[in-house]
Amino acid sequence: MNKTQKPFSKTNLIARSALQLVAALRREQVSPHELLDALEKQISLVDGVINALPTLCFERARKHADTLMQKPPSQRGLLCGLPVAIKDLNQVAGVIISMGSPIFKGRVASNSDYMVEQIEKQGGIIYAISNSPEFGAGGNTFNDVYGTTRNPKDLAMTVAGSSGGAAAALSSGSAWLAQGSDHAGSLRSPAGYCGIVGMRPSIGRVAKGPSVLPYESMGVNGPMARDVEDVALFLDAMSEEDPRDPFSLPKPKIDFLTTTQMRKRPLKVAFSPDLGITPVDPEIASICEQAAIKFKGMGAQVDFVSPDFTGVHSSYQTLRAHTFAMSLGGLYKNNPSSFKADIVENIERGLNLTAADIAQAEITRGVLRGRMAVFFEEYDLLLCPTSIVPPFPVEQRYVDSCNGVEFSNYIDWLAIVYAITLVSLPALSLPCGLTASGMPVGLQMISGHRGDAELLSYALSLQDELGIDKHSL
């Protein structure tokens, strides 16, 4: 070790931040193999009951580590050998990827997704696949292949979905970085329920594919971690322009981590407990409001106001069903009895849509996007709860009511997150407090068009202000 370097303790590696570990890897104060050993031990201690990481690939990971360590640290990429967990919807060459479906049980991927290629290019070492509901559909993480994922904060409670395994792994110390994906809040909701940070980046920020629907514009991949700086680091590692993805964006001139650490403060913030579209549990609304008001002490104006989301429910659910029909309709036709009811409902609705239905949904989406553009001309941030209720019992498939309002299907309770999906804006779930029963509450933070860097910077400022212990396990 260089005499100018600070000593690095290898005790309790699990509780370290990804940023700290990457710095230690770069200085060769710790090796990728030591980190993999620490993770393997932690998984053996906790995952038997949590079931966050049902597929492990440590042999593949150690081979990758061996190859990586043949290079000098400066050539090992941004992550420099840090282990990373990947969701069971994304292909990792040589690893079983089932998508939570009995149809694909035991299927080994022949190639990796573009995003996985990029993460490995940047020195991320993939060691595990995180649990997901079947084809990522559902607000609770369970499937007939691997079973149910439980919340590390209370094993009787859900982690939400569909990136539930990723969030639970982070919360239980069996991951430092975990990739998630997000359509109807699939990344943000689990982050909120598990007390970690999850970011839905702008479309194209993380390359997606290969896909039979390369122009699908609501589902994205994104970073999950225990704190905002680690999320920024991971987003930097995930981001790279890829000509194979028609929406792919170039890297920013200043990396996300650097901008995040500037700790910019917004001047004008909007807070809404419900976005005007959904009931919300009063305790959740109150905790999120108290977090939002923290920006006043940081010099910002905080207004209780929301954009107009009229039409969001029908537009989102129509386009979601259309996507399901396009992506899974053929598979469903050949395997009609192999899909769970929630997916069948979406596929069949999609197959029965008319051209007029789809046209109206797209028109409404365009109107909503226009309203958001005007809104963010005035405000730097929009804040609201990540989830409308606290974590619910793990045996419950989804939230069927809130504040006396009954929901007609499994997706209705997720309106507060899918509204942001529909208008294609970056959003992040930040831990902002605990319920009276001790369960985490997430604050959803939303920025304007391609405002990923500013969003992360504002989130770090608020994280500091809230003073939440980011790495307590």
Assigned domain for 401 exists? yes
Instruction: Answer whether residue 57 shows pLDDT above 70.
Output: yes
pLDDT category, 52, cuts 50, 70, 90?
A: very high
Average pLDDT of span 186-190: 98
| CA dist 373 → 435, 449, 472 (Å) | 34, 7, 38
Report pLDDT digits (tens) over 317-347. Answer: 999 999 999 999 999 999 999 999 889 999 9
Instruction: Answer whether residue 184 shows pLDDT above 50.
Output: yes
Q: What is the pLDDT of residue 468?
A: 78
- What global pTM score does this model have? 0.97
Report pLDDT digits (tens) over 35-46. Answer: 999 999 999 999
| Mean of the per-residue pLDDT values of the chain | 96
Assigned domain for 4 exists? no
- Rg (C-alpha) for the chain, rounded Å, is 21
Assigned domain for 471 exists? no
Report pLDDT digits (tens) over 133-176. Answer: 999 998 999 999 999 999 999 999 999 999 999 999 999 999 99
Report pLDDT digits (tens) over 380-425. Answer: 999 999 999 999 999 999 999 999 999 988 899 999 999 999 999 9
Instruction: Answer whether residue 472 shows pLDDT above 80.
Output: no
* Sign of torsion over alpha carbons 160, 161, 163, 165: positive
Instruction: Answer whether residue 2 shows pLDDT above 60.
Output: no
- Which of 56-65, 156-165, 256-265, 460-469 is least confident? 460-469
pLDDT category, 6, cuts 50, 70, 90?
A: confident
Identify the domain containing residue 461 by its residue range.
13-466
Share of the chain above pLDDT 90, in %: 95
Question: CA 423 from chain center: how many Å?
Answer: 17
Give CA–CA dist 362/473, Å, rounded.
Answer: 44
Instruction: Answer whether residue 21 shows pLDDT above 80.
Output: yes
Q: What is the DSSP secondary structure assignment for residue 6, as one 8-state letter? A: P
Question: CA 359 from chain center: how many Å?
Answer: 29
Overall number of domains in the chain: 1
* Sign of torsion over alpha carbons 291, 294, 296, 299: negative
Segments in 335-409 forming alpha helices (H): 341-351, 355-378
By the 8 A CB rule, do 319 and 362 touch? yes
Assigned domain for 415 exists? yes
Report pLDDT digits (tens) over 275-306. Answer: 999 999 999 999 999 999 999 999 999 999 99
Assigned domain for 472 exists? no
By the 8 A CB rule, do 386 and 361 touch? no
Instruction: Answer whether residue 460 shows pLDDT above 50.
Output: yes
Instruction: Answer whether residue 473 shows pLDDT above 90.
Output: no
Which of the pair, 322 or 7, is modelled with greater confidence? 322
Instruction: Answer whether residue 61 shows pLDDT above 60.
Output: yes
Bond before 162 cis per omega within 30 degrees: yes
Assigned domain for 1 exists? no
Q: What is the pLDDT of residue 1?
A: 46
CATH of the domain at 150: 3.90.1300.10
Assigned domain for 3 exists? no
**Burial class for 15, CB neighbours closer than 10 Å (0-12, 13-18, 19+):** middle
By the 8 A CB rule, do 171 and 50 touch? no
